[in-house]
Each structure stands twice: as structure tokens, then as C-alpha cells.
Chain A
Amino acid sequence: MLNAPPPFTIDSQQLYLEIPQSPEEQQPYSTSGACQRGWINQKCLQAFLPWFKEEIAPTARVYPNSAALPSFWEVVNGTAITFDSDRLVLIPTLAIDGDELRVPQEWVDIPEWVADYYIAVQVNPDEGWMKIFGYTTHQILKTKGVYDPGDRTYSLESEDLIPDINVLWVTRQLNHSEALRAKIAPLAPIAKTQAENLLERLGDPDVKFPRLAVPFSLWGALLAHGGWRKKLSELRQGLLIQWSIPQWLQTGVANLAQQWGWEKREFLVVPGGMRSAEPFLGLSRQIIVAQNTYELRIFPKSASEDYVWRFELQSTTPGGQIPAGFKLRLLTEDLQAFENNQDTATTPVNMLYLEVILELGEALVWEIEPAPEDYDREILRF
């Protein structure tokens, strides 16, 4: 399987990275195209991120988190990486001509997805390398890029890219402030019923190009919500995940949800008025904010006839506290607030908590401010 190496010298303005050998993760993508897309993006990330952390930005990490990535690649090309307070999107391609950088509209016009930089990467799986052949900014993409409504992409000719990614590093080193992002219009949020309709329609794996099947305003709003994006991917891939809290308490946390960090645990809770502690079964996950670890707990309160659930946030460090300014918030599935849905630490406290009365089958989204590392919205059903 020895391929003759290219007889020409490497382009010294363009960085070559080796495609790492690693066992292929089996993800049941809905089409061959999606499978190929997932593979290319995965390899690109594996090669790029370590180099980028070493040479350019040690704080770089994938956005929002590794477990979430297949739900992006199922429907769109591209992988986001945050570093310091900026974000870039890797846009890999198999094209050998290097004529253009073609960025899906999702990465340009969905406010939650927008990045500062877009990196053009040429991937050659047969020869086992990939090459960064240029980069650009959101600003340039929006102003100079050509929008193609046919495949909903913004494209730039390669002559309009900056070919050497070192320029990115030097610009940042010299602290020159440039407008990296253009202003874009916010996407109107969609209601729960509309989302459900869209999910039913686009969740059908027979729809081969879901991103082109409905107007972008609807598609973008659907994807922007992490919970719906995950659901879409799960439907298309035939992963019947139950994000059902009562079910997890009974039969254990679903495998996929474990990837998101959830586990079933036994807590010792001292109910008011009782002398001894009673063990309660609940769910727990760790979250990290500003390099400190906290635990989010969810468990039922059986005090009355009502279907009550309690949410708690605590530091995992013994004696540790929640810093002032932190908030624990709950929202409806379509991100609407409701009465008493938020607890704020006005001064440092030991715990933030919320108790809510729910209907059987009702869904909630939790949020923490400041946003935890790796945070991606989840829809939990009760």
C-alpha cells in the first residue's frame, strides 16, 4: 500500500498534517455521504487540534463537545473549535483543485454557530495527509463571499483566502483588533409544535438533503437548539434514545446519555423535620465552569401528590461554594422562561436549587450561567 510520495516539494506556505490512524468509530449515519463527511471531519479534527494547541492556542477545544459532533456531521460539513475567546470552523474537502472555500450557511448565519475564522482544509485519504490551504474571517465571507442558494453555501475563491495560517497567529500576537465578525440578523425562534413537525419530517432518513428541504430560517432555528439538533440526528440515525428521566431512574441511564455525562446515583438527603438521612435515587452529572467542577443533581421529591422535581447545583470540592453571579435556570423545551425558573447566587452560596411541578412527559432545558465548558443544550423529559 506504499504510495509514491509526491515528486514535488511541499508548499512552504501551506501546512501538511498527517491523517492519524485510529479505529473508526461506528456511527450509524443515515447516508454514505454523511458517513464520509463524519469520517473526514473526524480525521481533520484529530490531526488539526493537537497541532493547533501546540503551535497557536493552547486553550483550543472542540465546540461544543466531542459527543455532540456526530449530530453536526449527520447534516452539515464543518467542525468548530473555540480558543481563547474566539472560534474557528474547520471546513474539510476532498477536492484536489483547491479552487474555493465553500462554507455551509449554517456556520455563517446561525448566531449560535457563527465563528471568527474559517479554515480551508484539503484532505487526501489515499495519501494519508491533509493540507491547510487558507483561511478567512466571517467578515470577509459575508462581504466578499458569494452566496449560492442552490446548496446554501458561502464561497470564496482561493485567491481571496490568506494562504498561510501563520498569519492568523501573528495577527493575534500583535493584538491588532480587527472586525472578524459581520453583523447578522437573529433567527426567529420556533415554537415547540413547529419543531416537532420539522423533526418528524426531517428526521426521516429518506429525506437525503434535510438542510435544503425547508426554508433556512426554520432549519437554522431548529439546529441552533442543541436539544433539537440532537433529536434530529437520533431520529435520522435510528438511535431511539430516551431522554426520559423517570426511565433512567428505573432502568439506568441510556448509553448515549452516559456520553453526555449523566449517571444514576444514590444521594443522601436529609428531609426537613426528619432525624436521619434517607437515601434517594437521582441523576447526576458534572459540569465545569472556569476550571472548577460542580455537580448538577436531579431527583424527584415525593412530598405531595404533585409531580415535583428538584434540581441542585453544588461544588464537588468539599467545602467549596458556588461563586456570586452564578445562575441555575430552567426553561421549557422551546426555551421559554416561567415563574420561579431561576436561582441566582447573589453572594457565594453552598447550593443553588430549584423545585418545579411538572406534568408527566413534560420536557425541560437546563442552563447555567456562566456557561459550562462543553455545554450543549439538552432536552430532558420527565
Chain B
Amino acid sequence: MTFSFYAPRIENLGKICKILTQQGISFWLYHCIIEISYGSNSGKYSMQPRQGIVEIFSTFVQFEADQFSGWATDAKLRRSMKVCLERSSTERSDTFWALYWYKVWQNESSGVALTHISAYLQEVCYRAARKFARNFSTQSSVGDCFQMAIARVDKILKRFNPEYSSNLKGYAELAFESIIKDVLRERREADICSDWALLHKLSRKRLVQSLQNAGFNAQSIESSLLAWECFKELYTGDNTKIRKLTKPDAVIWEAITNLYNAERLSRLSLPTVVVNQQTIESWVLSSAKAARTFLYPKIVSADAPLKEENDGNLLDILPADLPTSLLTEIIEQEEAANARNQQAQLNEFLHQAIAAMDAKSQQLLQVYYGQKLTQTEIAAHLKIKQYTVSRRLSSIKKLLLLTLTQWSQNTLHISPKSDVIDAINTSLEEWLKIQYSHT
């Protein structure tokens, strides 16, 4: 097939894709276009597009000098896809297979399914990583951002709802951006906090994960957690300025130690012996250190993703037969998601709903989603206070969500349960980002 446009500008890509979607062209084309246009846009970077279904679901980005340098194949995944293709009577698109693996993951929590999807989302993740590493002066490399994001594919899948979301790639790209943003924000905060302050700014879950990551055993984790609790309860410093919290003095350390010793027998399943101040101090510091290390994980090699679970016969890992019900479901969903009429109707409806808003609200949407300014920039631009931006945006979207949900009730006959409305809200967000990004 030929492409009659050379190096289209990134802003126009969205329009192009929309046109193509409306003509029912498969998303496989969409991503080829992206790859080719990206290729001609930048000089050194040329991410070769993946062509075949098998490649798309079994290869991973390799980095060299913090840039894409090639695709690495995971042999196990390759075999897995080949088996799937053999068993499938009809030829199917990559979106079909993405949905298939999503369903398998959803029903069976399959590690293989998850890594297939990770492979599928490599380009999308790379794009998000590059965007952040380039546009924001952070100390994080592309590889770093990529790593952060791709490690959380399971979390992204948890909130993916194929019934309401445009497609997995579109959804994932926004989710990856969100994740990278969050991690960079966490790192920034951790970097300007003292160890003592950081300890106050950790969730228990995060601390446990950090300690596990650092190789602590169950007993150490338990006792570290208790020491941490005692530390937090007895030493807080100024309520308004936590970041610069300094080291506790000897009197406080003593109190913390005494508290730990008093509590350990009743609180720990594997109680330690009585410990002294130095021990408590070192435990508490190690916790802080573990938390910092967890925020900056080492870059792992591209084909490490598939863990050693189920290392047996591949045929045991794959579902015995591609269940026909699953297939039908996926086909239906694919068709439903690409349903031309509905998409056009929805677009029209949302355009009208926004046009019906007052000028200030429309302006805020334009400035936030279109120009992607920061909160302070928006505030300056619109001459309103910084916090007002968030409140106003929330208020505008609240009303949009209501009308969209009511429309969905009437047109699509959805039932307004909170998980459904949540899914509609996510797709509204996607729609807004895509719409304004190419106006």
C-alpha cells in the first residue's frame, strides 16, 4: 500500500487517523502510519514499524544510547503467537489479538497474556516516554521513563474497559503518560525531602513493596514496619513544613526505641529481641533508603519480562481451545467499538454540548487540553487563581459527564451504575484529549 503524504505534522496525525477510522480501516494501518511519519520527522530516531502479528506480540524495544536501537524477540512469546495463529481459522487484526489477550489476562490472570500485551504496547510506551524525557527537563532518560511505564501494564489493564474505551492503544498511551507523570512527580518530591520527611510521605503499601524489593525477609519487614510506625507516632516536626525534617535527637530516639520494645511482643508475629537505639535508627534509615531505591529501579533487559512462572510446556499455558464464546465476544466488541454511526453521533453530541457552554468554560477546555499549559500558565493566561483552574475544570467536566451519561442512557441504553459512569468518564477524558490536540 502507498502513502501519499510525507512527514505529516504530528498535530495532523489525529485528524488523519480519525478519517481513517471512519472509513473503517483497521488500526494496524493506523500504527503503521504513525511509525512512518515518526520515522521521517526526526533524524536519528527511526523506530522501524513491526509488520506481522507475531512480531507485534512478541518483540520488545531495545535501547542503545537512550534511543531505540532495535527489536528483541522473546522466543517463548513468538512460539505462543504462532500457535495461536495456527489455531485460528480466520486472519485477524492486531486489535483483535490485543482484545483476545486482554480477555485471557482478565479471566485467568495469565502472565503470558500480560507480556503479549506489553509487547503490543511497546511503541505506544516508547512514544509516551520520549515525550516526557524530551519536553520536561528531568533527570530521567527515555529508557527510564519507558521502564517506569511498561512495568505497570497490569495496573493499566485493570482500569481498561473495552466496551467504552476507543481502543487499547489509545487508552494505554494516556495511561502511560499519566503513570510517567506520577512517578516523576514522586521522584521530585522524594529528591527534595530529607530521609526523615520521606518516611512520613510513604504509604504502608509502598514501604512494604520497597522493603521487599530490597530483599528484606518477612521478619525484617514486619519489624521495620513497627519501627516506622513508632517513629511516625513520636516524631513529626512542623506540620506545615515536612520536607526539611531533621534527624530526631537522642531523647526522641530513646522514646522510639522504648516504644518499639514495648510493642513488639503484642504486635509482631515473629517478635525480635529487645533492640537498642542504634538498631532502631539503622532500621528506620534503611527503610528510607529502600523507598528511594524503589523509585529508581535499575533498567532491566528487554526480554526479562516473562517471569519464570509456568515454565513448562507452552501448550499448558495457552488456553486449550480458543473458546468460541470468547471469540464471538471479541468480534462483537470490535465491531461495536468501530461502529461508525455511534462514533459520529457521539462526536456530534459532545461538540454541541461544549458549544453550549459559556465562553469562559470553552476557553478553559481549549487552554487545558489544547495547549497543554501548566496550572500556573493557565492561571496567568486566564487571569484566575491557580486553584481555581482545578475547581473550574472539575466543575465543567462534571456537567459534561452528566449530559454524556444521560445521552448514553437514552442512545446506548446503558445502566448508570458507578463503574459504568467511571468508564464513560475515562472515555470522555480520552475524547477531550484527542479532540483538542489537533484543533
Which residues on A are within 8 Å of B, measured CB to CB?
A: 5-13, 15-18, 24, 31-36, 39-40, 51, 55, 93-100, 102, 124-126, 129, 137, 148, 150-151, 155, 157, 159-160, 162-171, 173-174, 176, 178, 208-209, 212-213
| A8 adjacent to B391 (CB under 8 Å) | no
Instruction: Say which residue of A5, A51, A168 sits within 8 Å of B391 (CB atoms).
Output: A51
Q: If the complex has contacts A176-B416, A178-B418, are A33 and B233 also in contact, measured as CB distance less than 8 A?
A: yes
Contacts of B202 on A, CB cut-off 8 Å?
95-97
| Contact sample, A vs B, 21 pairs, CB 8 Å cutoff | A12-B397, A12-B432, A17-B387, A32-B234, A32-B236, A33-B233, A36-B236, A96-B185, A96-B189, A98-B203, A99-B209, A100-B206, A125-B242, A126-B242, A126-B243, A151-B229, A162-B418, A162-B419, A166-B401, A176-B415, A209-B229
Contact of B136 with A8 in the complex, beta carbons under 8 Å:
yes
How far, in whole Å, are A100 and B151 apart by their CA atoms in the complex?
Answer: 18
Are A169's CB and B373's CB within 8 A? no
Q: Say yes or no: A164-B422 contact (C-beta < 8 A), given A5-B376, A32-B233, A208-B259.
A: yes
A39 and B189 alpha carbons, distance in the complex (Å) = 21
Complex contacts, A124 vs chain B, CB 8 Å:
189
Decide if B373 touches A9 in the complex (CB within 8 Å).
Answer: yes
Nearest-neighbour CB distance to chain B for A264, whole angstroms, equals 36
Contact A12 B242, beta carbon cutoff 8 Å: no
C-alpha spacing A280/B230, complex, angstroms: 53
Q: Is B390 touching A16 in the complex (CB atoms < 8 A)?
A: yes
The complex places the Cα of A170 from the Cα of B428 at a distance, in Å, of: 14
Partner of B203 from the list A8, A10, A51, A97 (CB cut-off 8 Å) is: A97
Is the beta-carbon distance between A166 and B233 smaller than 8 angstroms?
no
Report B159 CB to chain A, min CB distance, Å: 6
Give A17's nearest chain B residue, CB to CB. Answer: B387
Contact present for A209 and B206 (CB under 8 Å): no
Interchain CB contact under 8 A, B372 and A125: no
Contact across chains for B182 and A55 when beta carbons are under 8 A apart: no
B422, A10: Cβ atoms closer than 8 Å: no
Instruction: Say whether B234 contacts A174, CB under 8 Å.
Output: no
Say yes or no: A5 contacts B386, CB within 8 Å: yes
Tell me how far the C-beta of A133 lies from the nearest C-beta in chain B, rounded to whole angstroms. 10
In whole angstroms, how far apart are the Cα atoms of A93 and B205 in the complex? 13
- Asked if B406 CB lies within 8 Å of chain A CBs, one says yes
Tell me the B359-381 residues at the A interface (CB within 8 Å). 368-369, 372-376
Supplied contacts A99-B205, A162-B418, A170-B402, 19 more A-B pairs, CB within 8 Å: A8-B136, A9-B373, A12-B394, A12-B432, A13-B425, A18-B387, A35-B239, A36-B236, A93-B203, A95-B201, A96-B186, A97-B202, A125-B241, A150-B225, A151-B229, A165-B394, A166-B425, A170-B405, A174-B406
Write the nearest CB–CB distance from A375 to chain B, whole angstroms: 30
- Determine how close the nearest CB of chain B comes to the CB of A178; give it in whole angstroms: 6
Pairwise interchain contact A5-B422, C-beta atoms closer than 8 A: no
B259 to chain A, nearest CB (A): 6
Check B184 for interface membership: any CB of A closer than 8 A.
Answer: yes
Q: Is the CB of B391 within 8 A of A17?
A: yes
Q: Is the CB–CB distance between B417 and A178 below 8 Å? A: yes
B429 at the interface (CB under 8 A from A): yes
Instruction: Contact check, B190 vs A157: say whether CB atoms are below 8 A apart.
Output: no
Please, which residues of chain B bring their CB within 8 A of the CB of A166?
394, 397-398, 401, 425
Judge whether A176 and B417 touch: CB under 8 Å: yes
Q: How far is the CA of A167 from the CA of B386 in the complex (A)?
A: 24
A94: chain B residues at CB < 8 Å are 200-201, 242
Interchain CB contact (< 8 A) of B185 among A6, A18, A159 = A6
Residue of A nearest to B192 (CB): A126
Contacts of B27 in A (CB 8 A): none
Q: Note all chain B residues with C-beta closer than 8 A to A24.
A: 239
Least Cβ–Cβ distance between B239 and chain A, in angstroms:
4
Which residues on the B side are within 8 Å of A7 (C-beta)? 136-137, 374
Q: Does B36 contact A (CB under 8 A)?
A: no
* B406 & A167 in contact (Cβ 8 Å cutoff): no
Please give, as numbers and ranges, the residues of chain B lying within 8 Å of A173 by CB-CB distance. Answer: 402
- Nearest to B188 among chain A residues (CB) is A6
Are A95 and B425 touching (Cβ within 8 A)? Answer: no
Q: Is B331 an interface residue (CB 8 A)?
A: no
Cβ of B92 under 8 Å from chain A: no
B155: Cβ under 8 A from any A Cβ: yes
Known: A93-B203, A171-B418. A209 touches B393 (CB 8 A): no
Within 8 Å by CB of A174, from B229, B267, B405, lies: B405
A171 to B423, CA, bound (A): 13
**B130 at interface by CB-CB < 8 Å:** no
**Cross-interface CB contact of B263 among A18, A99, A170, A209, cutoff 8 Å:** A209
Inter-chain contacts of A126 with B (CB < 8 A): 240-243
A242→B433 CA distance, assembly (Å): 61
What is the minimal beta-carbon distance from A42 to any residue of chain B, in angstroms? Answer: 10
Q: Is the CB of B375 within 8 A of A9?
A: yes
Pick from B136, B225, B233, B418: contact of A209, CB under 8 Å: B233
A interface footprint on B229-255 (CB within 8 Å = 1, 0 otherwise): 110111110011111000000000000
Interface string of B407-419 (1 = CB under 8 A from A): 0010000011111
Alpha-carbon distance between A32 and B237 when the two chains are bound, in angstroms: 8
Q: How far is the CB of A140 from chain B (nearest CB, A)?
A: 9
Expressed in whole angstroms, the minimum distance between the Cβ of A198 and any Cβ of chain B is 16
